[in-house]
Amino acid sequence: MLLIADIDKRFEGGLRIEASIRIPAGASTNILFGPSGAGKTTVLRCIAGLEKLDAGRIVFDGQDWTNVPPQKRSIGYLFQDYALFPHLRVSENIGYAAKRSPEIVKRVAAMLKVDDVLHRWPGELSGGQQQRVALARVLARKPRLLLLDEPLSALDAATRDHVRSELAELLRSIGIPAIVVTHDWVDALTLGDQMLLMSGGRVLQSGPPQEVLTRPQHREVATAVGVETVVTGHTRDRAGGIVVLEVGAAELVAADPGGDDAEFYVCIRGEDVTLEKGRAEQSSARNHLRGIVREIAPAGILTKVMINVGFELVALVTRQAAADLELRKGAEIFAVFKASAVHLIPKK
């Protein structure tokens, strides 16, 4: 293992972080994902030595860092607000970490494509330029591990999409393992090779970001990754790889996950639900549930539609689709989704 971090950190008021982090050698960008208050930044600060453990250990590449001060850990920490010195020019910001070595400043600035703004003040830079300068300052220390705390949250939406792709390319080209804290699933999918999902101060699941986001293993994980519908279902019948479930007053079909569990958390993503005015008899989807629209609300570029189909089901549709279907509160609609779109988590 490149990093072993068993973190036990207690705070006044009863909040406690009990997180176990394992990052294998050769791992590149690792996402620490979860909702606000999950303990992600605390874990990052503990790894950096900025927070002292109440119990546990931190071992990096065979070296025990548990009681090593921050300045002696080979870490580059990119803060959420970048923390550039406003009274120093870009060259001086980078040089501060490079111990004022002109050679290092020049090399790192060229790598991060900020060599043309070395004479500028931080306040004269765009959000993307500020991020690259902050990362250049971090790399000037020649760290063996990068820690990035919500590196895109300080950017506006228009800049964020561009800088996200740029940051992903940078992290892969640098060749230094990184841990990136985020609560945004688009950031996780774009930047991450592996993801550790935190909730309530614990790591609940780890794996490739796409797998964690689409195949959660815990109810808390499903909620944390934004699955819109999470309800309880009871097995009524199972045969041929298919399980029939009673969910509220409705019945639906899902792919059988195996095992002998009879009660599940039924997880359905809103984008996997299609809405139709009438039942489409030719559809290959196994689930056609008649329902009544309870509420319609904007959800970014999409429209969120809450439907009573015997249980509350959420669908995400385009604004054009909502207009074409003449959706309104109280309207009758059919919710259609495939058996493979239903993810089951054993309730026990």
Q: Amino acid identity, residue 153?
A: S
Place of tokens 């019948």: 237
How many Å from the N-terminal Cα to the C-terminal Cα in the chain? 31
Domains 3-218 and 227-346 share a fold: no
DSSP 104-168: HHHHHHHHTT-TTSTTS-GGGS-HHHHHHHHHHHHHTT--SEEEEESTTTTS-HHHHHHHHHHHH
Q: Can you tell me the distance from the alpha carbon of 20 to that of 8, in angstroms, rounded to the nearest whole number?
A: 9
Reference 276, options 331, 341, 227; nearest CA is 331
Residue 252's pLDDT is: 92
The pLDDT, as a whole number, for residue 348 is 78
What residue ranges do the domains of the chain occupy? 3-218, 227-346
Please give the Cα distance from 212 to 30 (Å, whole number): 13
CB atoms within 10 A of CB 212: 25
Per-residue pLDDT of the chain (348 residues; tens, 9 = 90+): 789 999 999 988 778 899 999 988 876 899 999 888 888 999 999 999 999 999 999 999 999 999 999 989 989 898 888 888 899 999 988 888 777 678 888 888 888 888 889 999 999 988 888 888 888 888 888 888 999 998 888 777 777 887 888 888 888 888 889 999 998 888 899 999 999 999 888 999 999 999 888 888 888 888 888 899 999 999 999 888 899 999 999 999 999 988 888 999 999 999 999 999 876 666 678 899 999 999 999 988 899 999 999 999 999 999 999 889 989 999 999 999 999 999 999 987
pLDDT at 199: 87
Cα separations in angstroms, 75 against 28, 78, 237, 308: 15, 10, 54, 51
Residue 140: per-residue pLDDT: 83
Q: What is the CATH number of domain 227-346?
A: 2.40.50.100
Fold designation for 3-218: Rossmann fold (3.40.50)
Sheet holding 178-182: strands in order across? 75-78, 145-149, 178-182, 29-33, 194-199, 202-207
| SS3 per residue for 172-187 | HHHCCCEEEEECCHHH
